[in-house]
Structure 1
Amino acid sequence: MADQPDLSGVRRGDLCPGERVTLSDPKGRRHSVVLAEGGKFHTARGIVDHDELLHRPEGRVVRSTGGTEFLVLRPLLGEFTTSMPRGAAVVYPKDAAQIVVDADIFPGARVIEAGAGSGALTLSLLRAIGPTGRLISYERREDFAQVAAKNVRNFLGSEHPAWTLITGDLVERLAADPPDPVDRMVLDMLAPWDCVDAAGEVLIPGGVFCCYVATVTQLGRVIETLRVHGGFTEPEATESIIRGWQAEGLAIRPKHSMIGHTGFLITSRRLAPGQTAPARKRRPAPGAYGADYEGPRGSSDAG
């Protein structure tokens, strides 16, 4: 049986020309460098020759001509996505990790993504579905699509056979050329509520609808649209915040900087055809929906 191709983007062995490495200085500053025969990395602390790194293992410490030591490592996926060239803003690693888990992206999953942006979330989705899955990414802007394609190719080292990148509007393209049913739909776009009906048409029963938005107004509109549609479970909304810690002897405390709010994640599951979500039992706070609110689907459960 032939070996399956390695589509993880993880490289092993000695460093080769064309590979990207991260050089970390004693102050923790990281520099992303693409290696080339005869190349040189210039810093205020001297020059590092690429030839000192090539055809040798990662994890070494090299010294610049100015005497500064740099730790040499291949970048992890999270490091690559935060330092890679970008057109659109990227989905940060903490949010990509939450999306992969909360949307339950599994090996072999059939997934639709929109928009692809710069390809950061795309890489996490491709790694999760593996070579047996299927990822169709939609991106409205041709320039963003080109950046995403290049970033994915640079990280993986080749084209991913499970990935299709389509330039165009998600709703229009789904109407013109409907794909086979999918297990998951992940949206990172300006107006994802416009795609709820289309998601209902293509998601299998039990499939996960996952939406990443930046503002509370987007959050509220997506949730209300899912409720009005009636064919999805009650949406769940979360955000993740990461705070680093500094440990120096007895001085153990939170770092002064942290990765705070970057976006909200909304997840909901598709119901079977003809089924509607059970009416919510809890009563909204008085005035939450305004004086004329009559409750979901005409019921009178306003406070």
Structure 2
Amino acid sequence: MSSESAAIGTSTDPSATAAATGDQPVGAARRRGPFREGERVQLTDERGRMNTISLESGGAFHTHRGFLNHDDIIGKVDGSVVVNNVGQQYQTLRPLLSDFVLSMPRGAAVVYPKDAGQIVTMADIFPGARVVEAGVGSGALSISLLRAVGDQGYLHSFERREEFAEIARGNVETIFGGPHPAWKISLGDFQEQVVRTEEPGSIDRVVLDMLAPWECLDAVATVLAPGGVWINYVATVTQLSRTAEAIRADGRFTEPDAWESLVRGWHLEGLAVRPDHRMVAHTGFLLVTRRLAAGVTGISVKRRPSKTDFNEDDVNAWTPGAVGERLVSDKKLRRAARDAIAGTNVKDDPEITN
């Protein structure tokens, strides 16, 4: 199979999907009503310990303090309290998107909920929008984007590694209960594939989570509609700087804005109200810009930072291994892909086309 042209999980007919779910948006049925077999349920015990299980008729959840039959949960409404065979109580809730993202099978680091929320809002991802993204990783951001564009929107995701694409497909189908009608995922390099598959000026939003987004300037400028938003997620200051300078030098985009978000939880117990000792600090930088009309050159800022030369050594210094991230083995990727696919309720995989 050619990695440059393969497509995984092509979109389905929205009307057919809506009919199958009683005219509800895809995935909505899994967020309402009593617990059903195959659903994921979050169990919290009396000490606040949390576990997530997939409900199976006749199954059981075992701990050192007894077992809880899945049949005692199936049919209960969200937020019920159930008791195991020795009287241990469990609070049952459907996992939120943030819970699912942090516990789902993964082959690459996920985009944290705090960043996904910023991307959806600051890139103005709206229902019905036409969006392209790269790379997909484990599908965490894809799920947020699909929720934002809705069943009538369009999300075309590009991923270079087939194992990552399979993991993402499994995770997306698990949370939505099947293929999403707005989603298409393709294998290959974004800058090469997007101009072959998307019409010039037809895309509303571009979301890039990759090593060198500045290499995609021409591709983004080609497919992005005038006024469209391009948002980048990068890990290091040097990547952020080079992307911003490339956008400024190109002239087809507005002056870029950049930021990061930090989340600090709080400990709440009686009078002991204080910040948590741990927090989700730096995960990545976000940089956003907008496409100008054809033939228009962006207004230059009055003061510009001095230009810096970049070479191949700089790019090599930004690889996951160089910045201290643990490299993921092919064996682990294949196992994560199997785990992700096993969590779906779809018996037949979508056709993979060349």
Report the TM-score, using the length of structure 2 for normalisation.
Answer: 0.77
Once residues 21 and 116 of structure 1 are traced to their aligned partners in structure 2, the CA distance between those partners, rounded to angstroms, is 26
Match status 1:145 vs 2:165: yes
User: Where does 1:130-141 land on structure 2 (aligned, <5 Å)?
Assistant: 130-141=150-161
- Which residue is equivalent to 1:256? 277
Match status 1:280 vs 2:301: yes
Match status 1:99 vs 2:119: yes
Q: Determine if contact 2:235/2:283 at 8 Å carries over to the other structure.
A: yes
In structure 2, list runs of 5 or more residues that go unmatched.
1-14, 310-354
1:208 partner letter: V
- Which residue is equivalent to 2:187? 167
Q: Determine if contact 1:208/1:270 at 8 Å carries over to the other structure.
A: yes
Once residues 14 and 134 of structure 1 are traced to their aligned partners in structure 2, the CA distance between those partners, rounded to angstroms, is 31
- Which residue is equivalent to 1:193? 214
Match status 1:218 vs 2:239: yes
Identity in percent:
54
Structure 1, 228-237 or 37-46: larger mean CA deviation: 37-46
| Greater relative CO, 1 or 2 (CA 8 Å, sep 6+) | 2
Once residues 206 and 273 of structure 1 are traced to their aligned partners in structure 2, the CA distance between those partners, rounded to angstroms, is 10
**Alpha carbon RMSD of aligned pairs, Å?**
1.9
Q: CA deviation at 1:66?
A: 4.7
Q: CA deviation at 1:218?
A: 1.1
Q: CA deviation at 1:176?
A: 3.4
SS of alignment partner, residue 262 of structure 2: coil
Q: CA deviation at 1:8?
A: 4.2
SS of alignment partner, residue 78 of structure 1: helix
SS of alignment partner, residue 31 of structure 2: coil
SS of alignment partner, residue 282 of structure 2: coil
Once residues 213 and 26 of structure 1 are traced to their aligned partners in structure 2, the CA distance between those partners, rounded to angstroms, is 40
- Change in 2 beyond 3 A, CA 1:273/1:81: same
Describe the superposition over 1:138-169 as per-residue Cα deviations: whole angstroms up to 9, x where unpaired.
Answer: 11111110111111111001211111111111
- Change in 2 beyond 3 A, CA 1:82/1:166: same
Q: Determine if contact 1:45/1:67 at 8 Å carries over to the other structure.
A: no
Report the TM-score, using the length of structure 1 for normalisation.
Answer: 0.90
SS of alignment partner, residue 266 of structure 1: strand
Match status 1:116 vs 2:136: yes
Structure 1, 217-226 or 21-30: larger mean CA deviation: 21-30
Q: Determine if contact 2:192/2:219 at 8 Å carries over to the other structure.
A: no
Structure 1, 63-72 or 93-102: larger mean CA deviation: 63-72
Once residues 252 and 300 of structure 2 are traced to their aligned partners in structure 1, the CA distance between those partners, rounded to angstroms, is 12
Q: CA deviation at 1:81?
A: 1.1
Q: Determine if contact 1:7/1:127 at 8 Å carries over to the other structure.
A: no
Q: Determine if contact 1:8/1:127 at 8 Å carries over to the other structure.
A: no
Q: Determine if contact 1:235/1:266 at 8 Å carries over to the other structure.
A: yes
Q: CA deviation at 1:244?
A: 0.7
Once residues 260 and 66 of structure 1 are traced to their aligned partners in structure 2, the CA distance between those partners, rounded to angstroms, is 41
- Change in 2 beyond 3 A, CA 1:37/1:8: closer
2:256 partner letter: P
- Which residue is equivalent to 1:33? 53
- Which residue is equivalent to 1:241? 262
- Which residue is equivalent to 2:70? 50
- Change in 2 beyond 3 A, CA 1:283/1:200: closer
